[in-house]
Structure 1
Amino acid sequence: MTRQVGDHVVERLREWGVEQVFGYPGDGINGLIAAFGRADDQPAFIQARHEEMAAFQAVGYAKFSGRVGVCTATSGPGAIHLLNGLYDAKLDHVPVVAIVGQTARSAMGGSYQQEVDLQSLFKDVASDYLVEVNVPSQLPNALDRAFRTALTRRAPTAVIIPSDLQEEPYEKPTHDFKQVPSSPPGPALAPTVRAAREEIERAAAVINAGSRVAILVGQGARDAAEEVTRVVDVTGAGVAKALLGKDVLSDELPYVTGSIGLLGTRPSYELMRDCDTLLIVGSNFPYSQFMPEFGQARAVQIDIDGAMIGMRYPTEVNLVGDAKATLAELIPLLKPKQDRNWALDIQRNVARWWQTIERQAMLDAKPLNPMRVVWELSQCVPDDAIVTADSGSSTNWYARCLRFHGRMRGSLSGTLATMGPGVPYAIGAKFAHPDRPAIALVGDGAMQMNGMAELLTIARYRERWSDPRLIVAVFHNNDLNQVTWELRAMGGAPKFEQSQTLPEVSYAEIARAAGLAAMVIDKPDDVAPAWQAALASDRPMVLDFHTDPEVPPIPPHATWEQMKSTAEAVLRGDPGGWHLVAQGAKAKAQEFLPTREV
């Protein structure tokens, strides 16, 4: 049988080590789908419920595996649906390859059905590499370059293949003019970039001169956790974590202050408020108002991407290089701090914070305190769990209340902050690590947007995972809660119910209809047993937590303007007004209670 272009694409994916492609079929990729059918599930075609979900699954797979995630969609509407997931990959620097169909070449330019200018559509999101293949001999170079670029640039790339070309006989490139060959698939990782020695010496001088050192880590520090710990040992620094760097260091370390920013912790706020020296490692955290006041701290930044360095804080020394290699050269030049009072203050602040969070989590609410949902998870979450979070008020509890430890991994849409990736990320995580439990923390807004449909995807593929545990925890409060709080705290506007209120539905019943296990939890004492049951289950489970929408995600460093705006919202007739005031007062009071000695 003649080998078609579609067969070559599938074969090349296999050579790149691709084990699954997340997608949704359509006639623009019929030739490719037929080739998957002839490939004996190598690689597997994983059918999402929507192309956007396929892209998110590819992103989740790439984030948790370190390999390229691959997604595919048909021409026109299918390609358009991929965009949000691909932008998520672009903004979080994740390697994803999208293989997209197109109208037949003979019909291009004729306003044919589902004809969209895909080159223009993907020009921005796949700006690192975008190609339309128009003759068979363009392959394999086009595919290989898409993979190599995705890996080295940590970015999404796109290969567009017209539908008629997919069914043509494959012809490899020849040794001739206007033909471009390719090399066999293989490692395409960027070389280790090292900063100049004299700049590393300047950085060491800045850090050595300081007495109160703070470190901010992001996802770029993930492979340098050991080196960051060694810097702490020498300098007595505290370490705050950007949201994408939440899994870089264990929250059980006494000097780790937790998340930074609007969703951050009081110890991180205090760390930045009081430090005189700042070391930023692998983070592009954009909110400079949560860093030290300008002129307060001398700063050093380490990042692999020279285009992004020195733009978030007035850094004195910028080291463009791999975090692990750069820190390894920096550490021998650092002088141990003799005064450890700064380190002891940080540790006391951290210990006090976790006691405060526990007290806040145990406060009564109607019916459940959402903080308790995550606090109880922290008490029993396995060392090898992968936790995904969605965008919404539940993100606050993921950021502040969940204590990472062991080999735990976690992520969310950090930069795009889009709703909807929590469940598909968890699906991607299960394909990346089928032997590890995955847990998605999802608001009911995101669940209604697209998470419910993906329960069918979970049910369909659960037999492929050696560890059957995939837990979807829904924060069921019938409110688009994050926006509600933003209206209150940033504009002084009361909750607009026509916009914010969600229709009531039982997520547990929907899960059971999809073939999953499920529990409804609306009593505080049932929260911990529910987590324990889900983690002991032999199949995926949905936990439908009925939570109180008026438990405020108050930043520990809330400004007077934010408090004033919230009060104005209450006075203007917010429907949950006096209840939210009571909950906020109870939560804030916990910060001022005496703490236990540790």
Structure 2
Amino acid sequence: MNQVADYVLQRLAEWGVRRVYGYPGDGINGLLGAFDRAKGEPEFIQARHEEMAAFMACAHAKFTGEVGCCVATSGPGAVHLLNGLYDAKLDHQPVVAVVGQQKRLSLGTHYQQEVDLERLFADVSEFCQMVVHPGQARHVIDRAFKTALTTRGVATIIIPNDIQEEDAQPSPPKKHGSVFSSVGWSRPRVLPDPDEVRKAADILNEGSKVAMLVGQGAARASAEVVEVAELLGAGVAKALLGREVLPDDLTFVTGPIGLLGSKASDDMIRGCDTLFMIGSSFPYSEWLPDEGQARGVEIDIDGRMIGIRYPMEAHLVGDSKETLKALIPLLRRKEDRGWREKIEKNVVEWNDLCERWAAQHFDGTINPQAVASELSKRLPDDAILTADSGSGTNWWARNIKLREGMRASLSGTLATMGPGTPYAIAARFAYPDRPVIAFVGDGAFQMNGMNEMITVKRYLDRLSGPAPFVFCVFNNQDLNQVTWEQRAMSGDPKYPGSQTIPDIPYAAYAQLIGLKGIVCDDPANIGAAWDEALASEVPVVLEFKVDAEIAPIPPHIMAEQGKKAAKAALHDPERAGITAKGVRQKVTQYAEHLPGRGKS
């Protein structure tokens, strides 16, 4: 070992880092040379853009539970990391970013690409430190990892390029001011106060209509969540980041919640007398009980986040699994199962409605709901699913039913466009033998997903294989989610100047660069297109030409949004289609209550 850069990579490897996602630049030339000398321990994975590298690091953390790591050059490269790092910050994922900086000699001189990186990364980082002495590298790296793991957040290490090339000092000199740190961290056992646990049990035992809402914080407590739901006769709704906590084939799992949620979840929340939130910071008050309607119990490991979404009576600050284990012996099984039976009936009706909606195709155009529904029937075991932000997320949340062992994630709190594709790539690197399927809108695919297909091409030998690797692109030439938000939230018609995007041959582009491309524009061929994609041993771009006029109808339409949507429809360039199709879908929802349904 010769240089600080070599020592940095060795220390990353000692912390368990196997892959560092990044893009080169002269601000990290020392590190790039060290990556070459490290011979893959750790490995440098070349993304097409630093933002994508940060998304990949975040996804690695989400899908593995390990620290994700990314690297970028000074100045503009460092700036590019920020969106992906904010995704990690807001979704509470441990990520360490290593960024270059100009030589110490030139700092403060308004030098080329000189950016005040400590100030730039101050908000996104739980820990941010510049290495200004070779002997400092050890404890800065160690503290970055310990902080990222402890706070479940971002830590940033800034290394000027002259420091990268100085002689390494694995052990700093033994003198005043030196510290000697170590590699290592262990997950703490965090339990709430026993009196608060008893208080929570009393509230839950007294409730007759308990609704549970779980988020990603409950991911390690699946068995305990099921046991509590059975004892309380409760239903369980899942925030988007909590999709994988419980499989969707459990009869009491009501599915997603909120604007893109299920009616079963909405009915449960609107009818409950007790709300039990576990590991979720779901923020939308309009989809939670009215204040005063329900008593509240919440579990969250972060005391800063407890009781800030709904007024709670019992605040259980602790690890979800450990807290539920302490709570379960104090709960009494509810003998009256009427509430549970109603929830299960609503789940069956909701799933049936989703299938009937998906079966409706208008004017020979593919209904995007059917794309998700047909995949759901074909999902391979142990599949990992990612989604981008857009109208396709609605169908990903509602129409795809996860089974035991499947994984799923997306940008939850930041809800940014762009991560669906890099999330899938990072998942495939982490689990090369598992099926990986991404749902991406054409807007997000044009924004950056198409470029990351070049990354797939770059590592084609690593990312191909018997397990399918599919990027499903919804081609409707519309930034569709924002279009519907304009209508429902602002009362404005679709503005083609901002909303319409070019029709690009995504499947043909995939074929052009050596991947497999499949295009489907016929509703009759949706299933066959999925079968072909899932049988491929080469990564696939599966392009569906879908109807932009299928509204992501919320579980219940709020009066103000209904008025604004009606106002927007008066002048909307697609008013005829959205009106006719929206009416048809709503009629389908209430058809079972119409006289004569089911009669010959």
TM-score norm. by structure 2 comes to 0.97
Paired positions, count: 592
Query: 1:459-498 to 2 correspondence within 5 Å?
Result: 459-465=457-463, 467=466, 469-498=468-497
The normalised TM-score by structure 1 is 0.97
Q: Identify which of 150, 172, 188 aligns with 1:191.
A: 188
Matched, 1:453 2:451: yes
Shift, 1:101, TM fit: 0.1
Structure 1 residue 467 displacement after superposition: 4.8
Q: Which digits, 9 at most, give the CA deviation of each residue in 1:155-180, with x for residues without a partner?
A: 01100000111011101212211112
Residue in 1 that maps onto 2:535:
536
Which of 224, 229, 240 aligns to 1:227? It is 224
8 Å CA contact 2:86, 2:414 repeated in 1:
yes
Cα distance between partner residues in 2 of 1:44 and 1:478:
38
Partner of 2:375: 377
2:557 and 2:262 mapped to 1: Cα distance? 11
Measured against aligned partners, the alpha-carbon deviations of 1:348-395 in whole angstroms (never above 9, x if no partner) come to 000000000000000013521000000011001112011000011111
Q: CA deviation at 1:406?
A: 1.7
Q: Partner of 2:212 in structure 1?
A: 215
Deviations 1:32-51 (CA, angstroms, capped at 9, x unpaired):
00000111112110000000
| Aligned residues of 2:246 and 2:404 also touching (Cα < 8 A) | no
Partner of 1:267: 264
| Counterpart AA for 2:563 | K
Equivalent-residue separation in structure 2 for 1:283 and 1:590 (angstroms): 33
TM-superposed CA distance for 1:561, in Å, is 2.1
- What one-letter code is carried by the residue in structure 2 that aligns with 1:204? A
Which letter maps to 1:33?
L
State whether structure 2 residue 331 is matched by structure 1 residue 334. yes
Is 2:152 the partner of 1:154? Answer: yes
1:434 and 1:467 in contact (8 A); partners too: no
How far apart, CA to CA, are the structure 1 residues paired with 2:506 and 2:281?
A: 36
Contact map agreement 1:551 1:584 (CA 8 A) in 2? yes
Q: CA deviation at 1:586?
A: 1.2
Which of residues 302, 313, 317 is equivalent to 1:316?
313
Partner of 2:362: 365
Give 2:544's aligned residue.
Answer: 545
Say if 2:372 and 2:396, in contact at 8 Å, map to a contact too: yes
For 2:334, give the aligned amino acid. Answer: K
Equivalence map 1:349-360=2 (5 Å): 349-360=346-357
Counterpart code for 2:89: K
Structure 1: 5+ residue stretches without partners: none
1:474 aligns to what SS in structure 2?
strand
Residues 369 and 395, structure 2, Cα contact 8 Å, conserved in 1: yes
- 1:111-260 equivalence runs, <5 A: 111-126=110-125, 128-171=126-169, 172-183=171-182, 185-186=183-184, 188-260=185-257
Q: Give yes or no for contact 1:131–1:160 (8 Å, CA) kept in 2.
A: yes
Counterpart position of 2:53 = 54
Q: Distance in 2 between matches of 1:354 and 1:196?
A: 40
SS of aligned partner of 1:38: helix
For 1:292, the equivalent position in structure 2 comes to 289
Instruction: Give, as a single letter, the amino acid of the residue that structure 2 aligns with 1:262.
Output: L
The CA distance in 2 between the partners of 1:197 and 1:406, in whole Å, is 32
Asked whether the 8 Å contact 1:152–1:189 carries over to 2, the reply is: no
Correspondence for 2:413: 415
CA distance in 1, matches of 2:248, 2:186: 30
Q: CA RMSD in A?
A: 1.2
User: Which one of the candidate residues 386, 389, 402 is aligned to 2:387?
Assistant: 389
Question: Residues of 2 paired with 1:144 and 1:453: CA distance?
Answer: 34
1:276 matched to 2:278? The reply is: no
Paired residue secondary structure (1:89): helix
Give the drift of 1:451.
0.3
Partner of 1:594: 592
Secondary structure, aligned partner of 1:284 = coil
**Cα offsets for 1:480-500 (capped at 9, x unmatched):** 001110111111111110110
Distance 2:110 2:294 in 1: 59
The residue number in structure 2 matching 1:325 is 322
Query: Could you tell me how far apart the structure 1 residues matched to 2:265 and 2:234 are?
Result: 12
Q: What per-residue deviation string (whole Å, max 9, x for no partner) do you get for residues 297-346 of structure 1?
A: 11100110001001100100000001001101111111111111111000
- Given that 1:468 and 1:540 are in contact with CA atoms closer than 8 Å, whether structure 2 keeps it comes out as no
Cα distance, 1:546 vs structure 2: 0.3
Asked whether the equivalents of residues 247 and 403 of structure 2 are also in contact (C-alpha less than 8 Å), the reply is: yes
SS in 1 for 2:70: strand
> Whole-Å Cα distance in 2 between the matches of residues 204 and 381 of structure 1?
38
1:10 aligned onto 2:9: yes
Can you give the 5+ residue segments of structure 2 that lack an aligned partner in the other structure?
none
Q: Secondary structure at the match of 1:129?
A: strand
Is the Cα contact below 8 Å between 1:55 and 1:71 reproduced in 2? yes
Q: Distance in 2 between matches of 1:529 and 1:61?
A: 32
**Deviation at residue 468 of structure 1 after TM alignment:** 5.0
- Report how far residue 469 of structure 1 moved: 2.4
Give the Cα–Cα distance (whole angstroms) in 1 for the partners of residues 251 and 68 of structure 2: 35
Q: Distance in 2 between matches of 1:556 and 1:299?
A: 23
* Paired letter, 1:481: N
List aligned pairs for 1:73-92, cutoff 5 A. 73-92=72-91
Distance 1:233 1:77 in 2: 53
Q: Which residue of 2 aligns with 1:562?
A: 561
Q: Is the 8 A contact 2:88 2:95 kept in 1?
A: yes
User: Match of 1:521?
Assistant: 520
SS at match of 2:488: helix
Q: Distance in 1 between matches of 2:245 and 2:466?
A: 24
Deviation sequence 1:404-438 (CA, Å, 0-9, x none): 11211111110001000000000111122111111
CA contact (8 A) 1:365 1:551 kept: no
Equivalents in 2 of 1:333, 1:200: separation in Å? Answer: 9
Instruction: State whether structure 2 residue 97 is matched by structure 1 residue 95.
Output: no
1:57 corresponds to which letter in structure 2?
A: M
Q: 1 CA distance for matches of 2:160 and 2:466? A: 39
Deviation at 1:13, TM superposition (A): 1.3
Q: Which moved more, 1:433-442 or 1:586-595?
A: 586-595
Instruction: Supply the distance in 2 between the matched residues of 1:284 and 1:569 (Cα, whole angstroms).
Output: 32
Aligned AA (1:18): V
1:37 and 2:66 are equivalent in the alignment: no
State the alpha-carbon separation in 2 of the partners of residues 170 and 69 from structure 1: 24
1:435 matched to 2:427? The reply is no
Check the 8 A contact 2:297/2:313 in 1, yes or no: yes
- Matched letter for residue 225 of structure 2: V
Structure 1 residue 503 corresponds to structure 2 residue 502: yes
| Aligned-pair CA distance for 1:193 | 0.4
Query: Deviations 1:58-100 (Å, cap 9, x if unpaired)?
Result: 1111110110110000000000000000000000000100000
Q: In the alignment, is the contact (CA less than 8 A) between 1:479 and 1:501 conserved in 2?
A: yes
SS at match of 2:592: coil
| SS of residue matched to 1:140 | helix
Matched AA of 1:541: V
8 Å CA contact 2:477, 2:503 repeated in 1: yes
